[in-house]
C-alpha cells in the first residue's frame, strides 16, 4: 500500500510517499512544494494544486493523510494554510483517494509513542523508522513523513472501526 502524507502550508507544503508492506515501511519519495512570498495568493494556490496533481499522478498513492490544522494566534497564516490544505484535499478527492486527517498529537503518539513529543524526537523517529541516513529537511518534509507513518500504522484499525475489511 502506498501512503502519501502531507504537512500543509502555503509557503512550504511537505510531502512524503511511503510504501507499507506488512509491517515494513519504505520511503518512496519526499520533499516539499514551495511558493514564493509576495506572489498573489491565487497564484500560489494554483502552483500548489498543479504540483500536487503532478505528484499524485506520478506516484499513485492508495490513500492520503493530512495534518489537521490547529488554530494559532496568526489568523492570516491559519487561513492561508487552510486554503493550501483545501487545494490538496480537492486534488486527492478528484482522484477518488481516501483522505485521513490526524491532529499533531495523534501523529506524535503514532510515531514516537508520546503525544507531547518534541519536534526533534519525531524527526529522529522518522529517520529511524524509514532507515534514512539523515533527518529530512526542511522540517515540513519530516512532518509529512510522520503523517504518512501515522496513517500507515492506523489504517488497518481505522478500516476495521469503519466496517471495511482488507483483502
Grid cell locating 54: 503532478
Alpha helices of the chain — where are they, by DSSP H? 41-59, 75-94, 104-112, 119-129, 139-161
- Cell 510504501, located at residue: 19
Active site residue 57: no
| Residue 7, marked binder | yes
Residue 67 assigned as binding residue = yes
Extract the C-alpha cell encoding 138: 526542511
Which entry of 42, 101, 140, 159 is annotated as an active-site residue?
140
Buried b or exposed e, range 83-120, using 16+ CB within 10 angstroms: bbbebbbebbeeeebbebebebebbbbbbbeeeebeee
For this structure, is 67 an active site residue? yes
Q: For residue 140, say whether it is annotated as part of any ligand binding site.
A: yes
Annotated catalytic residue within 34, 67, 118, 124: 67
Beta carbons of 32 and 38 less than 8 angstroms apart: no
Residues 29 and 144: their CA atoms lie apart, in Å, by: 11
**What are φ and ψ of residue 99, in 5° steps?**
-120, 125
User: Which residues are part of a known binding site?
Assistant: 7, 67, 140
Catalytic residues: 7, 67, 140
Q: Which parts are annotated binding residues for Mg(2+)?
A: 7, 67, 140
Amino acid at each position: 500500500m502506498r501512503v502519501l502524507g502531507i504537512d500543509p502550508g502555503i509557503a512550504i507544503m511537505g510531502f512524503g510517499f511511503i510504501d507499507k508492506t506488512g509491517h515494513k515501511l519504505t520511503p518512496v519519495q519526499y520533499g516539499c512544494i514551495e511558493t514564493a512570498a509576495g506572489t498573489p495568493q491565487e497564484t500560489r494556490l494554483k502552483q500548489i494544486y498543479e504540483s500536487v496533481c503532478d505528484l499524485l499522478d506520478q506516484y499513485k498513492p492508495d490513500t492520503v493523510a493530512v495534518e489537521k490544522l490547529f488554530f494559532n494566534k496568526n489568523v492570516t497564516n491559519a487561513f492561508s494554510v487552510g486554503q493550501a490544505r483545501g487545494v490538496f484535499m480537492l486534488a486527492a478527492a478528484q482522484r477518488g483517494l481516501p483522505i485521513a486527517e490526524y491532529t499533531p498529537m495523534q501523529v506524535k503518539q503514532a510515531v514516537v509513542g508520546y503525544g507531547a513529543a518534541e519536534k526533534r524526537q519525531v524527526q529522529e523517529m522518522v529517520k529511524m523508522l524509514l532507515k534514512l541516513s539523515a533527518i529530512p529537511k526542511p522540517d515540513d518534509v519530516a512532518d509529512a513523513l510522520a503523517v504518512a507513518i501515522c496513517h500507515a500504522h492506523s489504517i488497518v484499525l481505522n478500516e476495521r472501526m469503519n466496517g471495511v475489511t482488507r483483502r
